[in-house]
Amino acid sequence: MLEQFQQASQAIADPSRLRILKILETGELCVCQITAVLGLAPATVSKHLSLLRLAGLVSQRKAGRWVHYRLANRSTNPYAPALLRVVGSVLGDDETIAADLRRLEPVRETPLEALCAKDSDPVPRSDGITTR
């Protein structure tokens, strides 16, 4: 049991993984959408998502060529629900989280086919950074 708590608590200790959890509070997102919001490399986002999934904090489903993630509603880790409640109750006034949520709006409006295409046009972000 101690190992499960440690795995979940270490997963939420990383700022990028916390950002992922906070944007997933708004609902299910494709890996491409998460990548576009965070402005991180796809491999980096995939690694973070893998650690969150192993900790029982997120679940995934595959739809065609896309993998969608959401906060876990059932977990093999008994500590995940409590830690997700804690994450849900904090950082409401954090500017990084607020900026992520602002960037999420246009990303959600972009069709996945366009957003996830390797040769897609960049998605402009309000902070001047352009992502694919």
Q: What is the pLDDT of residues 75-108, one digit of tens each?
A: 789 999 999 999 999 999 999 999 999 999 999 9
Q: What is the mean pLDDT of residues 20-32?
A: 97
**pLDDT at residue 132 greater than cutoff 60:** no
- DSSP, res 93: T
Whole-prediction pTM = 0.87
Residue 67 φ/ψ, nearest 5 degrees:
-115, 125
Domains along the chain? 2-116 (1.10.10.10)
Residue type, 44: T
Strand, helix or coil for residue 20: helix
Measured in Å, how far apart are the chain's first and last C-alpha atoms? Answer: 40
Question: How does pLDDT run across 29-64, given as a tens digit for each residue?
Answer: 999 999 999 999 999 999 999 999 999 999 999 988
At 3, the pLDDT band (50, 70, 90 cuts) reads: very high
Instruction: Give the E-state strand segments of the chain in sequence order.
Output: 29-30, 58-63, 66-71, 123-124, 130-131
Q: CA–CA separation, 68 vs 65, rounded Å? A: 10
